[in-house]
Amino acid sequence: MLALNFLILIVLIAFVAEYIDSTLGGGYGTLLTPILLLFGFSAVAVVPAILLSELFTGAFAAFMHHRVGNVSFDFKNDQESEIVKRLGKLGYMPKSIDSKIAIVLALCSTIGGILAVFIAVSISKSQLNFFIGLIVLVMGILILIKRKSGIKFSWKKIVSLGALASFNKSLSGGGYGPLVTSGQILSGVNTKSSIAITSFSESFTCLVGLITYIALGKTINWSIAPFLMAGALLSVPFSAYSVKRMKTDKFTLIVGVAIIILGVTTLLNMR
């Protein structure tokens, strides 16, 4: 049984980590994983608990961002889409571009998430964490360099980054948000929309990773999971309104700097 003071500390840390994540597009798992490891929890116990909490907070964050107008999620079937016309009743394509990107990233999560969990139980993660940290750092720098220039939208970049980011999320518990957020911005997606889309797709990624962990016989650490969820959920409304109030150009600058910091943090916490 964990002490009450320690559980309150877990709630506060989760609150801060999720506020950063839902406001700047990443940092929940990247920050929480090394902190919980320092507290003496094992990686096998930490990652499923983080995936469970982010499953709910990611979905809630996407809902709140949509509600305050940071993103436009419209999942009604687009009857004018060529896919729907060709497949008829079996065809589906959401109406808004934000919804389309979210669906693509979520689908990418299935393959990357399942593959990562199988690898997670058998190999060291240090080399992958170095690779991910380096990519995130470079992307943050590119965002700062290109933030005032027009970037053409690219589906190829979205798909590639979605698979890579979900792979790392299920493998280490972190790294998904910075990769997907920065990747979307560098693929031509509006910065505020990219934050909300990341939350939506990350929730799906966590679901896939969590199911795979359980299927492999791993258990959720219920001594910390509910308190991670409580702290994280409480922060979501604050982050959604914070994003809404910021000007896009200034917000892109802040996100770029934050992603650089998260990239450096990943490299420094490499194990």
pLDDT in tens, the chain (271 residues): 678 888 999 999 999 999 998 998 887 887 787 788 888 887 777 888 988 999 999 999 999 999 999 999 998 988 888 888 888 877 888 989 999 999 888 887 666 666 666 665 555 656 656 766 777 788 788 888 877 666 777 777 787 777 777 666 666 555 677 778 888 888 888 899 999 999 998 888 788 878 878 888 878 888 889 999 999 999 999 999 999 998 888 888 888 888 888 778 777 766 5
Number of domains composing the chain: 1
Q: Which residue has the tokens 């008829």?
A: 88
Tell me how far apart the alpha carbons of residues 266 and 160 are, in angstroms, rounded to a whole number: 21
**Whole-number pLDDT of residue 170:** 61
User: How far is 206 from 166, CA to CA, in rounded Å?
Assistant: 8
Give strand pairing partners of 94.
Answer: 77
Q: So what's the pLDDT on residue 116?
A: 65
Nearest to 140 by CA among 32, 257, 3, 22: 257
Query: CA distances (Å), 121 to each of 36, 118, 183, in order?
Result: 19, 6, 28
Can you give the residue range of the structural domain that contains 221? 4-268
- Answer for the pair 29, 171: CB distance below 8 angstroms, yes or no: no
Provide the 8-state DSSP code for 186: T
Query: How far apart, in whole angstroms, are the C-alpha atoms of residue 59 and residue 44?
Result: 24
**CA distances (Å), origin 184, targets 3, 58, 110, 221:** 41, 17, 19, 33
At 47 the pLDDT is: 81
Please tell me the predicted confidence (pLDDT) of residue 169. 62
Side-chain-side CA neighbours of residue 234 (13 Å) = 14
Token code pair at residue 263? 């990239």
- The whole-angstrom separation of Cα 201 and Cα 177 is 9
